[in-house]
Homo-oligomer: A and B are copies of this chain.
Amino acid sequence: MTEKVALIGSGNWGSAVAKIVGRNVQNFPHFNKEVKMWVFEEQVDGQNLTDIINTKHENVKYLPGIKLPDNVIACSELKKTCDDATMLVFVVPHQFVAGVCEQLKGRISPNCKAISLIKGMDVQESGHGFRLISDMIQDSLGIRSCVLSGANIASEVAEERFCETTIGYRNLEDGELFKQIFHTPKFRVNIVDDVVGVELCGALKNIVAIGGGLVDGLKLGDNTKAAIIRIGLYEMRKFAQMFYKDVKDETFFESCGVADLITTCAGGRNRKVAEAHVTTGKSFDQLEQEMLNGQKLQGTSTAKDMFNILTKKGLCHEFPLMTVIYRICYEDLPPIRIVEDI
């Protein structure tokens, strides 16, 4: 049977992915050559962004300078984007997932499969105190969802510099199918039987990046930074395996684990703002406004979500790094406590 891909989202990362997926579907006979991409309509220089994308084949607003394949068709209506799709690629900010699923409920084809490229977690009430994005998609739409995550700064991927990524699957066929639309010689996909592990790596890494930035600001050097990254990886793994016993050690050796953590702690806005917190003494809120041009700081909010979960379960003492990072962000603890409290 023929598969048809729809991309739900068209920001920086969504557009980089559109370039890859649009090309890859042309390489296999079992994919429909058209890839619709849902675009939240806005005006750019008096024109609809969808019209610009469909004529210039470039997302001039979110990924300027990168040509998209002609078979990627921007579409401003979510339902129309997805109505004939069998493979849904979710790549919207995590706060929009619930609304997107609500709109799609009952309107997707019965053999549809999904993959989430979204970082973050849903902290509405549930047994665990949080819910995975891939579980939200599965529960809401009644379809299986894979997860893709890795050391993938969007601009570098768009420029086709070599990197790797990880797809976590629940069903090997799904994993192999999604690999076909993402894998290229410059964007290497490994697939692992561990949706939860892959997704939690992507959600939790930004907390550790705050830690990396604090150490940079304190000018403690390479040994200390490597120690913080290592302890961060350890606590990510411990947290994941405490809440989901099937999460595999091996997943943390994949791109979604150690590699993404290294990239996120080397660059990225969480690291940068945390460094500035140390060097300027300003609060994270103030720096977020001054430095991020409207973007949100994920590391601090995820640290808060995690701290709330740990507090409820009485587990803070088992996660000293995550806990002290939260306290530095929200309780005015001196940054040097990052190495004193762990």
Using a CB–CB cutoff of 8 Å, the interface residues on chain A facing chain B are 151-153, 156-157, 161-164, 186, 188, 220-227, 229-231, 233-234, 237, 249-250, 252-255, 258-260, 262-263, 266-267, 339
Residues of B within 8 A of A188 (CB): 227
Q: Determine the distance from Cα of A258 to Cα of B222 in the docked complex, in whole angstroms.
A: 13
Residues of B within 8 A of A227 (CB): 151, 162-164, 188, 255, 259
Is A151 a contact of B222 with CB atoms below 8 Å?
A: yes
Q: Determine the distance from Cα of A208 to Cα of B252 in the docked complex, in whole angstroms.
A: 19
Instruction: Tell me the minimal C-beta distance from A258 to chain B in angstroms.
Output: 6
Q: Determine the distance from Cα of A180 to Cα of B188 in the docked complex, in whole angstroms.
A: 45
Task: Name the contact of A152 in the complex, choosing from B163, B164, B223 (C-beta under 8 A).
Answer: B223
Is B249 a contact of A230 with CB atoms below 8 Å?
A: no
Is B230 a contact of A255 with CB atoms below 8 Å?
A: yes
* 8 pairs of residues in contact across A and B, judged by CB atoms under 8 Å: A151-B223, A152-B223, A156-B221, A163-B223, A164-B227, A222-B267, A229-B258, A237-B253
Is B226 a contact of A263 with CB atoms below 8 Å?
A: yes
Residues of B within 8 A of A233 (CB): 253, 258
Task: Name the contact of A221 in the complex, choosing from B161, B229, B259 (C-beta under 8 A).
Answer: B161
Instruction: Tell me the minimal C-beta distance from A334 to chain B in angstroms.
Output: 14
Q: A220-B161, A223-B152 are in contact. Are A230 and B252 (CB under 8 A)?
A: no
Q: Determine the distance from Cα of A279 to Cα of B249 in the docked complex, in whole angstroms.
A: 38
Task: Name the contact of A263 in the complex, choosing from B152, B223, B252, B258 (C-beta under 8 A).
Answer: B223
Residues of B within 8 A of A222 (CB): 151, 153, 156, 262-263, 266-267
Q: Determine the distance from Cα of A164 to Cα of B229 in the docked complex, in whole angstroms.
A: 11
Q: Determine the distance from Cα of A253 to Cα of B262 in the docked complex, in whole angstroms.
A: 13
Q: Determine the distance from Cα of A27 to Cα of B151 in the docked complex, in whole angstroms.
A: 45
Is B258 a contact of A223 with CB atoms below 8 Å?
A: no
Instruction: Tell me the minimal C-beta distance from A34 to chain B in angstroms.
Output: 29
Residues of B within 8 A of A259 (CB): 226-227, 229-230
Leading 9 A-B pairs by shortest Cβ distance: A163-B223, A162-B339, A230-B259, A226-B259, A151-B226, A226-B262, A226-B263, A156-B221, A222-B263
Q: Determine the distance from Cα of A282 to Cα of B233 in the docked complex, in whole angstroms.
A: 38
Q: A253-B233, A255-B230, A258-B230 are in contact. Are A153 and B223 (CB under 8 A)?
A: yes
Residues of B within 8 A of A263 (CB): 222-223, 225-226
Task: Name the contact of A234 in the complex, choosing from B161, B234, B253, B260 (C-beta under 8 A).
Answer: B253
Residues of B within 8 A of A157 (CB): 223
Q: Which residue of B lies closest to A155 (CB)?
A: B221
Q: A230-B151, A258-B230, A262-B226 are in contact. Are A220 and B252 (CB under 8 A)?
A: no
Instruction: Tell me the minimal C-beta distance from A289 to chain B in angstroms.
Output: 26
Which among A230, A237, A253, A263 has the highest number of chain B CB atoms within 10 Å? A230
Residues of B within 8 A of A186 (CB): 339
Residues of B within 8 A of A152 (CB): 223
Which among A227, A237, A252, A255 has the highest number of chain B CB atoms within 10 Å? A227
Q: Determine the distance from Cα of A249 to Cα of B258 in the docked complex, in whole angstroms.
A: 14
Is B253 a contact of A223 with CB atoms below 8 Å?
A: no
